[in-house]
Chains A and B, each alone.
Chain A
Amino acid sequence: MDEIKKSTISTSDKNETGIESKETEGLSQRQIIVKRFIKHKAAMASLVTLIAIIVIVYTSLGVNIGTGRFKISIPGWWPYKIDQIDPEGALASSCNGGVTGCPTLDLAPPFLDGDGIRFGGHPFGTDIIGIDYFALVMRGAQQSIMVMLIVGTLGILIGTIVGAIAGFFGGIVDAVLMRVTDMFLVTPTIVIGAVIGFRFGNLGVAPLAIMLGLFAWMGLARFVRTEFLTLREREFVDAARVAGASDRRIIFKHILPNAIGIIVVVGTLLLSGAILAETALSYLGFGVRAPDVSLGLLISQYQGSFGISPWLFWWPGTLIISIALCVNFIGDGLRDAFDPRQRRHISMKERRKARELSEVPS
Chain B
Amino acid sequence: MLQYILRRLGMMFVIVFGASFLAYNLQAYSSDPLSGFGESTAENKEYLILQMTRDLQLDVPPPIRYFSWLRGIVAGLWGDFNMGLTRDGLPVIEILAIAIPVTIKLVITATFLAIVLGISVGMITAIRQYSRFDYSMTFVSFLLFSLPIFWVAVLLKEFMAIQFNDFLVNPTIPPIAIVLYSLVFGLVAAGFVGGARLQFFLVLAGAALFAAALLYFASATQWFIEPSLGIFGVGFLALCNAAIVIQLISGLDSKKGRIAGFGVALVIIALYYPLQALMSADASLINVFGIFAITISVGSAIGYFVSTIDKRVYLRIGFFTALMSTVPIIVNRFMSEFAGYMNSDAVNGRPVPTLGQRNDLLTPEQIDNFWISGLDTAVHLVLPTIALTLISFAGYVRFSRGSLLEVLNMDYIRTARAKGLSERTVIVRHGMRNAMLPLTTILVNDFAGLLGGAIITEGVFAWQGMGQLFNTALRSYDLNLFMGVFILSATLTVLANFVSDLLYGVVDPRIRIRK
Please give the residue numbers on chain A whose beta carbons come within 8 Å of chain B beta carbons, in ascending order.
Answer: 42, 179-180, 182-188, 190-192, 194-196, 198-200, 272, 276, 279-280, 283-284, 286, 296, 299-300, 303, 306-307, 313, 317, 320-321, 324-325, 328-329, 332, 345
Chain B residue, CB-CB nearest to A194: B474
Q: Does B455 contact A (CB under 8 A)?
A: yes
Q: Give the residues in chain B near A279, CB-CB below 8 Å.
A: 148
Q: Is the CB of A320 within 8 A of B30?
A: no
Report how far A345 CA is from B129 CA in the complex, Å.
Answer: 9
Q: Give the residues in chain B near A192, CB-CB below 8 Å.
A: 26
Knowing A183-B18, A299-B151 are in contact, say whether A191-B146 is a contact too (CB < 8 A): no
Q: Is the CB of B148 within 8 A of A276?
A: yes
Knowing A179-B11, A182-B15 are in contact, say whether A191-B452 is a contact too (CB < 8 A): yes
Q: Give the residues in chain A near B151, CB-CB below 8 Å.
A: 299, 313, 317, 320-321
- What does the 1/0 interface line of B298-326 toward A look like (CB < 8 Å)? 00000000000000000000000000000
Q: Is the CB of A284 within 8 A of B30?
A: no
- What does the 1/0 interface line of B108-150 toward A look like (CB < 8 Å)? 0000000000000000000001100000000100110111111
Knowing A188-B452, A307-B158 are in contact, say whether A276-B146 is a contact too (CB < 8 A): yes
Q: Is the CB of B147 within 8 A of A195?
A: no
Q: Does B459 contact A (CB under 8 A)?
A: yes
Could you tell me how many residues of chain B have their Cβ less than 8 Å away from some Cβ of chain A? 43
Q: Give the residues in chain B near A328, CB-CB below 8 Å.
A: 142, 145-146
Knowing A186-B490, A191-B486, A284-B471 are in contact, say whether A300-B18 is a contact too (CB < 8 A): no
Q: How far is the CB of B147 from chain A (nearest CB, A)?
A: 6
What would be 22 A-B contacts, judged by CB atoms less than 8 Å apart? A180-B18, A182-B494, A183-B19, A186-B490, A186-B493, A187-B486, A187-B490, A194-B474, A195-B23, A195-B30, A195-B474, A284-B459, A296-B148, A296-B150, A299-B150, A303-B150, A306-B158, A307-B162, A317-B148, A321-B146, A328-B145, A345-B129
CB contact between A284 and one of B26, B31, B157, B456 (< 8 Å): that residue? B456
Q: How far is the CB of A109 from chain B (nearest CB, A)?
A: 23
Q: Is the CB of B452 within 8 A of A199?
A: no
Q: How far is the CB of B305 from chain A (nearest CB, A)?
A: 48
CB contact between A199 and one of B30, B129, B143 (< 8 Å): that residue? B30
Q: Tell me which residues from 9 to 56 in chain B have a Cβ below 8 Å from any Cβ of chain A.
A: 11, 14-16, 18-19, 22-23, 26-27, 29-31
Chain B residue, CB-CB nearest to A331: B142
Report how far A276 CA is from B22 CA in the complex, Å.
Answer: 24
Knowing A179-B11, A284-B471 are in contact, say whether A299-B154 is a contact too (CB < 8 A): yes
Q: Give the residues in chain B near A198, CB-CB below 8 Å.
A: 30-31, 474
Q: Give the residues in chain B near A276, CB-CB below 8 Å.
A: 146, 148
Report how far A106 CA is from B89 CA in the complex, Å.
Answer: 58
Q: Give the residues in chain A near B146, CB-CB below 8 Å.
A: 272, 276, 320-321, 324-325, 328
Q: Does B453 contact A (CB under 8 A)?
A: yes
Q: Give the residues in chain A near B27, CB-CB below 8 Å.
A: 195
Report how far A303 CA is from B456 CA in the complex, Å.
Answer: 14
Q: Tell me which residues from 392 to 431 in chain B have a Cβ below 8 Å from any Cβ of chain A.
A: none
Q: Give the residues in chain A near B149, CB-CB below 8 Å.
A: 280
Q: Top 5 A-B pairs ranked by shortest CB distance? A: A199-B30, A324-B146, A188-B452, A183-B18, A325-B146
Q: Does B489 contact A (CB under 8 A)?
A: yes
Knowing A198-B474, A280-B456, A317-B148 are in contact, say whether A191-B23 is a contact too (CB < 8 A): yes
Q: Give the residues in chain B near A284, CB-CB below 8 Å.
A: 455-456, 459, 471
Report how far A191 CA is from B453 CA in the complex, Å.
Answer: 9
Q: How far is the CB of A272 from chain B (nearest CB, A)?
A: 7
Knowing A280-B150, A320-B151, A321-B146 are in contact, say whether A179-B15 is a contact too (CB < 8 A): yes
Knowing A284-B456, A303-B154 are in contact, say whether A186-B148 is a contact too (CB < 8 A): no
Q: Is the CB of B455 within 8 A of A286?
A: no
The tally of CB-CB contacts under 8 A between chains A and B is: 118
Q: How far is the CB of B324 from chain A (nearest CB, A)?
A: 34
Report how far A184 CA is from B21 CA in the complex, Å.
Answer: 11
Q: Give the residues in chain B near A194, CB-CB below 8 Å.
A: 455, 470, 474
Q: Is the CB of A190 within 8 A of B15?
A: no
Report how far A180 CA is from B15 CA in the complex, Å.
Answer: 8
Q: Give the residues in chain A near B18, CB-CB below 8 Å.
A: 179-180, 183
Report how far A307 CA is from B162 CA in the complex, Å.
Answer: 10
Q: How far is the CB of A301 from chain B (nearest CB, A)?
A: 12
Q: Give the residues in chain B near A191, CB-CB below 8 Å.
A: 23, 452, 455, 470, 486, 489
Q: How far is the CB of B435 from chain A (nearest CB, A)?
A: 17
Q: Is the CB of B158 within 8 A of A187?
A: no
CB contact between B154 and one of A272, A296, A306 (< 8 Å): that residue? A306
Given A179-B14, A191-B455, A284-B459, 18 other A-B residues pairs in contact with their CB atoms under 8 A: A183-B19, A183-B22, A186-B15, A187-B23, A190-B456, A191-B23, A192-B26, A200-B30, A272-B145, A280-B149, A280-B456, A283-B148, A286-B474, A306-B154, A317-B151, A320-B146, A321-B151, A328-B145
Report how far A192 CA is from B143 CA in the complex, Å.
Answer: 26
Q: Give the residues in chain B near A300, CB-CB below 8 Å.
A: 150
- Interface-central residue, A184, A198, A286, A300, by most chain B CB under 10 Å: A198
Q: Does B449 contact A (CB under 8 A)?
A: yes
Q: Is the CB of B145 within 8 A of A186?
A: no
Q: Give the residues in chain B near A188, CB-CB below 8 Å.
A: 449, 452-453, 455, 489, 493
Q: Give the residues in chain A near B14, CB-CB below 8 Å.
A: 179
Q: Give the residues in chain A near B142, CB-CB below 8 Å.
A: 325, 328-329, 332
Q: How far is the CB of A294 from chain B (nearest CB, A)?
A: 12
Chain B residue, CB-CB nearest to A327: B146
Q: Give the residues in chain A near B30, CB-CB below 8 Å.
A: 195-196, 198-200
Q: Give the residues in chain B near A320, CB-CB below 8 Å.
A: 146, 148, 151
Q: Is the CB of A283 within 8 A of B23?
A: no
Chain B residue, CB-CB nearest to A281: B456
